[in-house]
Amino acid sequence: MIKLRLAILFLLVVCTSATSLLQKHLLDKTILRHTEQKTGSFPVPDKKYGAFYMEMPLDHFNDTNRKTFDNRYWMNSDYYKSNGPIILYNVGESAADRAAMFVKVSTMAQLAEKLNGILIIMEHRFYGSSGPEVNAFFHTKEDLETFNTKQALADMAYLISNIEFEKINVPPVPKTKAVVYGCSYSGSLAAWAKDTYPELFFAAVSSSAPVQADVDFYQYFDPIMRYGPKQCISALQKVIAYIDQILFHGSQDEVTKVKKLFYSQNLYDQTFGQSKVTELTLKSNKYTKKKKND
């Protein structure tokens, strides 16, 4: 157990240089994190930016289903001038409370300003406050059958086609060019939206988009293993090998002892592994920030 503690400590120290490289790609999230530290909660944009709600059909492809839900979104039209585009960002697989601040503080907002456009931050169906009402804390089977990508893409098309603007005259899409934006799953939505509704979406910015699903996508880590600092990679491999040896071949008592080191004895093995990766990343970020301040 002492060996494991030392290995993890060593990993945190030697990996900070790699973490600093990753931080360059996390500017928006860093800004949000600093804002949260000051407010003690999620940062909230000025009320003039929302939240607003679009009455959204629950099933876009079944005319007999009249059920709707309120789809939450935020909008920044501060920079709009005639012929400017609309930039649409579907937050993806999480509530949009944290991402709402992107409407003012993000590269997307900078792009909207540069292009004299409008930025819309949209919450994905069945996340946050966007979804049908639940019965006794559960969605019905029929409702959950509409919780899919096809319906989410139709939500994006519906919102961009039906949104109304106050105090500014914005020609309807496609006369007004619409650019759909996203990263990761949200980036997949951006690519698929452009492909599915080419008559509505003029362009897509699809960053790090996993457009082909793979259950075991180990190649995601290949660039890190190839180009990360050698000491960091070596330490990472040793820690993984040490814990894997216990998880796969150790007794239940040995597995429990390892998990207890992290106060995670009640977690399943896979959840335990995922939580430790997240925890190590956060600690490395904190260490790097402290070193910079020093």
CA 172 to chain centre: 28
pLDDT surpasses 90 at 147: yes
Q: What is the mean pLDDT of residues 226-231?
A: 87
pLDDT surpasses 80 at 5: no
Q: What is the mean pLDDT of residues 113-140?
A: 90
Of 130, 125, 108, residue with least CA distance to 117: 108
H or E element that contains 282: helix 269-293
Q: Which residue has the higher pLDDT, 171 or 264?
A: 171
**Tens-digit pLDDT profile for residues 202-224:** 999 999 888 777 777 778 778 88
Give the span between the Cα atoms of 276 and 264, in whole angstroms: 9
pLDDT surpasses 70 at 229: yes
Pairing of strands 86-90, 52-57: unpaired
Q: What is the mean pLDDT of residues 125-147?
A: 88
Whether omega before 45 lies within 30 degrees of 0, making that bond cis, reads no
| Helix spans in 15-132 (H) | 16-23, 27-39, 107-114
Q: pLDDT-based confidence at 43, cuts 50/70/90?
A: low
- Percent with pLDDT over 70 in the chain: 76
Strand order in the sheet with 118-122: 52-57, 68-76, 118-122, 86-90, 178-183, 203-207
Most confident of 1-5, 128-132, 255-259: 128-132
Give the span between the Cα atoms of 92 and 152, in whole angstroms: 9
| Helix spans in 201-268 (H) | 222-227, 230-249, 252-261
pLDDT reported for residue 289: 52
**Tens-digit pLDDT profile for residues 262-274:** 778 788 777 777 6
pLDDT reported for residue 237: 85
- Percent with pLDDT over 90 in the chain: 46
| Of 153-162, 191-200, 269-278, minimum mean pLDDT range | 269-278
Distances (CA, A) of 152 to 155, 259, 293: 5, 38, 43
Q: What is the mean pLDDT of the chain?
A: 80
Beta strands in the chain (DSSP E): 52-57, 68-76, 86-90, 118-122, 178-183, 203-207
**pTM of this prediction?**
0.68
**Tens-digit pLDDT profile for residues 73-97:** 999 999 999 999 999 999 999 999 9
Q: Is 208 helix (H, G, I), strand (E, B) or coil?
A: coil
